Structure formats: C-alpha cells, structure tokens
Structure 1
C-alpha cells in the first residue's frame, strides 16, 4: 500500500511538472498561442505606416513623439524608451516570420501583412537625405524622426527586405525598387566605412558600425555583403564578401570567419544571457550564409558559430517560467513624456545622448524600486523578451539535435504568455520561433 502511494505521488509529480513546463493553460495548442500573439500584434503594435511600435497600452493606444520632440531629441536623440525606438530592428526580424506564415497558410491577409511590414522598412529608408541612414520610427507627420541611426536598426532592415525579395510576394516592380534601395544603402555604408550615419542636428556623426571585431559585427557584415550579391548578381559584392571573410578587423586576433565560429560568446563585453534579442539577427544571418555559400570551409565556420550560439541560448529559454501573467506593476513608459523629459537636456553628441538616455531609464525604474517593485518593463525584458529570443535562436539554427532537445521548452515558452496583456511588442519573437521550427 505504501509503495503504491509512493508510486502514485511520483506519477502525480511528473504530471504536475509537465503541466508547469507547458504552462499557459489558456491555450490548447502552440498554434493557438501563436495565433493569439499574431492577433495581439496586428491589433495593437503595427501602425498604419507599417512600422512596429515598441509598446502600446492594452487598448493599442500610444503616445507618439511629435515632430518637434523628435527634432529637439526629446527625450533623447535615439528615441530610446519611446514607442518609435526600434522600427527597423523589429520590422526586419519579424518580417521573415510573417513571410513563412503566408507560405504555410496562403492567406491573403498574411500576404498583406508581409507587404505592409516591407513598406514600413522602405519608408524608414526614405525619410532622410543622408545616404545610408535608416530611421528608427516615424512621427505623427509621416516623415520626421529621431536623428540617431544604429547598426541594430540597419542590419535587420537588410535581413527583412532580403527575405521579402526572395519570397514570391512582391511583384517585379516592387522587387526592383527594394533592391535599388538596398544597394544604395549598402553603397553608402561602404563609403562611410561601414558605420551607421545620423541625421538632423547629428549629421556627420555615427552610431554603431559593422566593422568591429565582435561576433555581431562579423556575422552581420558578411551577411549584408553576401545578401547584396544574391539580390543584385553584382560580382563586386561577392568579391567583397570573400575578402571580408578572411580579413582581420582592426585590433582583432582573428579573421571574420574565425570570429563567426566562436559564436555569441565572443562578445564577452555584453551580458549575453540578458541580451539575447540583439543576437537573434546574427544567428539568422549565419543560418542564411550556410544556405547561400557553397564553400565548405566557410560554411563549417558558420555552422560552428550557429551551434555554439544555439547551445548557449537553449539555457536561457526556461526563464519564461518566471513571468507571472497575473502580476500587474504599472508600465510607466506609457506616460514617457512625464517620466523621461524631466531629465532632458540638449545633446551635442551621441555620447551625451546615450548618457542622458540611460539616466532617464534609471530614474524611471527608481520609482518602482523604491517601493520594492520590479518594474514591468524589466519583467517583460528579462522574462519574455530574452526567453523568446533565445527560443528563436535555437529554432532558427536548423540543428536537428539541438532543436529536438529543446522543442518542448520552446513550445512551452510560446504557450506561457497572455499576449493581449503584454505591453511591449517583443513578443513577436514567439512567432519568429514558431515559424522557424521545422513543421511537424
């Protein structure tokens, strides 16, 4: 009797454990969860101009910076912590997932969504007279934007449009226009020594570059060069790609192929565990390079980097369990004008702008931390953004063994969140992860 009771308790513990791992009992299947995320995304986060917002209230409302605020760099020159901070970044990473969704469904609404995201990316590259500049987002007048560009906005811009051009969605005219724009941006970046230029009062300055010695630098630059050859057929891009692969960046002990082979752990100056979202594009780039390149020595380096990065990210996915859907601390950035502009002052350089922006968020978080509350934005970042980004990094890797070992927790992570209640748009990584997984 005692043995039977022990066995029953053991079996019950397994059932409870499995239920906990799967979580998110509001969904019957992972496909249901993805559809919920998709509905939340398109009912709230995508503006009429086709550009994804960083966050909205639960009814879809958001305080969009005015043209005057963008021109004055309020709250800061990057637009950090506003709803229009990451249009190029988020649109570019999300677009391939929507393209894959359309490939599976052949639903005209999904096709229209992909076209809308692509048009948003094209708009971001068309509102400035600075060659190579990609805006972060657009103000209420349909053209004004914050002055700071960014490598984090520019690389996903290429990634998303590359996948769009390679799909069967755009017609010949749209495809030609996009390729022309991609070429113009790449040419300008090359002329600017692969640095991302700024606009407005910061013309002549740059924010971020692709020429550094980090994993993200190497993987992104090589992808851009190879992608340009793929869409243009211009041998000059292929020659540049091959040369860049064996070149050692300034102050680097390794060439770019060897850097890529080290995976995300190369970038030790970054807290990789809590910054998974900024490595997603690099992983996707290496995966695409393997598909495009017929040189086995280069592909071997890329596969090694993909494997190492996926293995690291697999250990981050389970952080989704810490997110409490019932917890309701305020998302204070909804009122960003009140909480950020109090610490505003004019900025003359990217360094000044960054210092001000970081201090602004620090002061906002202090409001909650003083009352021993973990800020809602921090919760969504640590317990949603990075676990879902990690899930995508593993799913997109194409490594059958790593995916098989982690598919259950990837799907559990996707099913965990009550998407209509999430303020930040980074739950788009749920769709990215799902549509990167091999179909069952």
Structure 2
C-alpha cells in the first residue's frame, strides 16, 4: 500500500500554489511543504462541498449514509419500510443514519458559522436543523425519531436508537444556542426537544420503536462512560433549554448515583473515559462514541463546580489518549483503491425474514452485515481507513487544546491531505468540517 499523500482538491491547488499543481500533474507525492501550505480549513471546505454535492437528501435536507460517485441512491419504498426489508433497523440502506450524521454535522456547521460569519454558513446550518425537525415531525410516537424517510417522503422503518436520538438532540441543542434560529424557530425546536426527552423519561430512558409492540432500541442508563455522558448531558441541557429546575436537580442526583458491578458514580465512570470496542473482534466504534465525547465536552463547559469539571476533563483526556492510537489507520487509505461498492442494497432482501420485534431485527441486520461487506468491500474499507481515524481526531479535538497539540498536532493536516472526497461512497467524512472549525466552540464561550 502506497503511503504517499494523494492529491487534494481544486481549492487546495489554489492554496498550495503552482508548485503543488505541477507536482500533482506529474503524479508525484505531496512534499511536506506543500501539505503545510494547504490548510485544514481548505481541505474541510472541499469535504463540505462534496457532502452538499452528493450526500444531502434534497427533499428533506438530511444526510444519506452512502451514495454512488455521481450521487446515485436507491431509496426504500413504502412497502420495504412496512415489511422491514432488508431489516427493521434499516441497516445497510442509505437512510439508516439521518439523525446521527445530521446532528453531529450541525455542530460543525454552527462552529463554522461562528468562525466565518457568512450567509452560506448560516443557510447550511438552518437547512440541516430544519431537516432534523422534519424527521422528528414524521414520528407519531413520542421519543422516536426516524432514521430517514423512504421514497414516498413519509414512510420509515420501525426502529431508531440512542445513537440516532442523542445526536439529533445534541445537534439541535447546538443550533438553538448558536443564535442562528429566529425566536419562533427556537421555541418550536425547544418544544420538540422537551417533548422527546420527557417521552424518553417516561420509557425509563429507553428509546421506543415506532410501534411500541416492536420494543426498544437502546437506553441511556447503562453503567458505561458513553451512556453516562449522554444521560447527564440530556439532563443538563434540558435545564439550559427550559430553565425547569427539576432537570438540574435530577442531574445532580444522577451524577452521584452509584451503579454497575463496581458501584461507581456516573461522575467516576465519566472520569475514566470512553472505550471503543465493538461487537466483532477488532471492531471499533469511535464514530458512535464520539458523540459521548461531545457530551463530556458540553458538560465540562457548563459545570460551575471545579472538582466536577476537573473530573469531566480527566474523562475527556483519557478518551482522547485511547483514541490517538487509531489515527494511524488513515495511512492505510489508498486513493487508487478500486474496491467495489454497489449502492443497490436490495440484494439483501433475499436473506430477509419476518421480525416480530427489535431484537429479531437486530439479529437479522447483524447477520446481513457480512453479506453487505462481501458485496461491497469498499464499505468496510472506508469505515477502517476514513471513518474511524477521522472520528478519532475529532475525539482528540474535543478534549481541548492541550490534548490536541500533544496527540494530534500536524497529523490532522497530513491526514486530510491523504483523502479524496470525490472518491468516497460513505458520508462519514462530514466530520472534517467539525475538525476544521472546532475553534468556533471557543468563540461561543467568549
């Protein structure tokens, strides 16, 4: 595998100068000087443009999980959604991660607006926020946020998850606090956020499916750092949004509540940092656990008690240090890689069977993942070489300047220069925008 840095995009040529263009035309590797002259912001802007060129569902302003290199996408029909084909989780379809991707991307867009203060930044943030609201407003079950909508613009699969509802909430919270929404828009969003969290509370902090008889997918009260961070953030954010004291009271109670085999408080659990292991051997979940790091960042920023804030910071730093080892996975990315990616997911329907509840849907979806990978080896390849190292970098950035300088440094610039956004099939590279504009969070804090 060639570890030389690949070409970057048109704006990068302009930033890098004629010498960089000449090197690219001759097929040579980028020199260190050329990489340094191409800013992180310029490369992230190219990623941003590519997201909007191909990966936005223009009906809703919601992100697709994957599309073809010319934007090709096959949407599930209403019949597919009703029958839970290929599975009730919508896994391996292009509409499986709308709230997840949109919510985290909206955080980056709000920070981008704080830095740039231009009309385009505001407009894009507004559109993604509106898309997240459209998804939630299609739900007839309080606490359930659809992952995406089918070809008819209204049908959806029965299961959401905590990894969808949490970033949906988080992104809209970021948007409300950015100053971008009108007062009317702010009130409408806060009302929807509040009703959703109240519903989750009514379900013992589990995420309901669209049909209650289908069960639940995920909870916020397990004794893990990623669950503790999200749960505490929901409580603290609800107090910030509504000024209702009951949320702050519950936050302080749940913060010190002892749970799990070790009978540790949630604060103690958060201070130990996140773990990134997945279901399979060698599998990692930096992308999903990054939202828990974002929750820790928000909790630390909001905390007025110095000892609690320091505990959160220990968790942020520990999480960043554990993520740092995954940065090297970017070196395995080869722009010349020609692994196949077939956007027609319907071949999975040959393995379909009836699912009575969410547990059966999860089992079917997991059984189909190897079939998906065999047909589309480019998909796990991008997960390994693009998704996980980019989200590892964001986890580090969220830990603060000291961790970023110590653990990331110039590696971010080198990492982004490796990638060719126009050759990506999956949308997870949107997080390049979050990486480039993380400094906007500091502006928000004054």
C-alpha displacement of 1:144 = 1.2
Q: 1:27 to 1:272 in 2, by over 3 A?
A: farther
Could you tell me which residue of structure 2 aligns to residue 137 of structure 1? 148
Residues 279 and 266 of structure 1, relative CA distance in 2, 3 Å threshold: closer
Query: 1 CA distance for matches of 2:206 and 2:384?
Result: 29
The equivalent residue for 2:356 is: 348
1:23·1:412 contact (CA, 8 Å) conserved in 2? no
Cα distance per residue 1:187-217 (max 9 Å; x no partner) = 00001000000014x5451000001011111
Contact 1:392 1:434 in 2 (8 A): no
Superposed CA offset, 1:283-319 (max 9, x none): 1111111111101222121111100001111121121
Would the alpha carbon gap of residues 207 and 252 (structure 1) be closer, same or farther in structure 2, given more than 3 Å must change? farther
Q: Is the 8 A contact 1:307 1:399 kept in 2?
A: no
Change (3 A) 1:165 1:249: same
Match for residue 357 of structure 1? 365
Measured after TM superposition, the shift of residue 21 of structure 1 is 9.4
Structure 2: distance between partners of 1:103 and 1:37: 19
> Of 333, 336, 348, which aligns to 1:323?
333
Question: Which residue pairs with 1:428 in the alignment?
Answer: 430
SS at match of 2:129: helix
CA contact under 8 A between 2:64 and 2:94: conserved in structure 1? yes
Match in the other structure for 1:16? none
* Farther off after superposition, 245-254 or 301-310: 245-254
Separation in 1, partners of 2:340, 2:33:
24
In 1, Cα distance between equivalents of 2:279 and 2:73: 34
Gaps of 5+ in 2: 1-28
Q: Which moved more, 1:190-199 or 1:142-151?
A: 142-151
Return the alpha-carbon distance in structure 2 between the equivalents of residues 46 and 264 of structure 1: 30
Change in Cα spacing, 1:318 to 1:27, as seen in structure 2 (3 Å) is farther
What is the root-mean-square deviation of aligned Cα atoms in Å? 2.3
Q: Which residue of 2 aligns with 1:173?
A: 184
Distance of 1:433 and 1:20 partners within structure 2: 22
Counterpart position of 1:14: none
Shift of 1:29: 2.9
Q: CA deviation at 1:109?
A: 1.6
CA pair 268-381 structure 1, distance change in 2 beyond 3 A: closer
Per-residue deviation at 1:263?
Answer: 0.5
Does 2:37 align with 1:35? Answer: no
Q: After superposition, give the CA deviation of every residue in 1:76-108 in whole Å (9 maximum; x if it has no partner).
A: 001001000011111111101111111222221
Q: Secondary structure at the match of 1:208?
A: strand
Residue 24 to residue 61, structure 1, CA distance change in 2 (3 Å): farther
- What per-residue deviation string (whole Å, max 9, x for no partner) do you get for residues 219-255 of structure 1? 0000011011011111111001111101123555211
Superposition pairs of residues 64-143 of structure 1, within 5 angstroms: 64-143=75-154
SS of the aligned residue for 1:264 comes to coil
Does the 8 Å CA contact 1:23/1:415 hold for their aligned counterparts? no
Q: Within 2, Cα distance between the matches of 1:107 and 1:365?
A: 41
Residue 340 of structure 2 is aligned to residue 337 of structure 1: no
* Alignment TM-score, normalising by the size of structure 1: 0.89
Partner residue of 1:57 out of 50, 68, 77: 68
Matched, 1:212 2:222: yes
Indicate conservation of the 8 Å contact 2:51/2:427, yes or no.
Answer: yes
Paired residue for 2:319, among 298, 309, 321?
A: 309
User: Counterpart in 2 of 1:3?
Assistant: none
Q: CA deviation at 1:401?
A: 4.3
Residues of 2 paired with 1:381 and 1:405: CA distance?
22
Distance 1:272 1:241 in 2: 35
The aligned residue for residue 374 of structure 2 is 366
Q: Structure 2 CA distance, aligned partners of 1:426 and 1:243?
A: 36
Structure 1: how far apart are the matches of 2:176 and 2:364?
39
Q: What runs of 5+ residues in structure 1 fail to find an aligned partner?
A: 1-18, 369-374
Match of 1:298 among 304, 308, 312: 308
Partner of residue 388, structure 1: 390
TM-score (norm 2): 0.88
Offset at residue 358 of structure 1 (A): 1.5
Q: Is the 8 A contact 2:276 2:285 kept in 1?
A: no
Distance 1:399 1:271, change over 3 A: farther
User: Counterparts of 1:161 and 1:229 in 2: how far apart (Å)?
Assistant: 15
Q: 2:276–2:284: 8 Å Cα contact kept in structure 1?
A: no
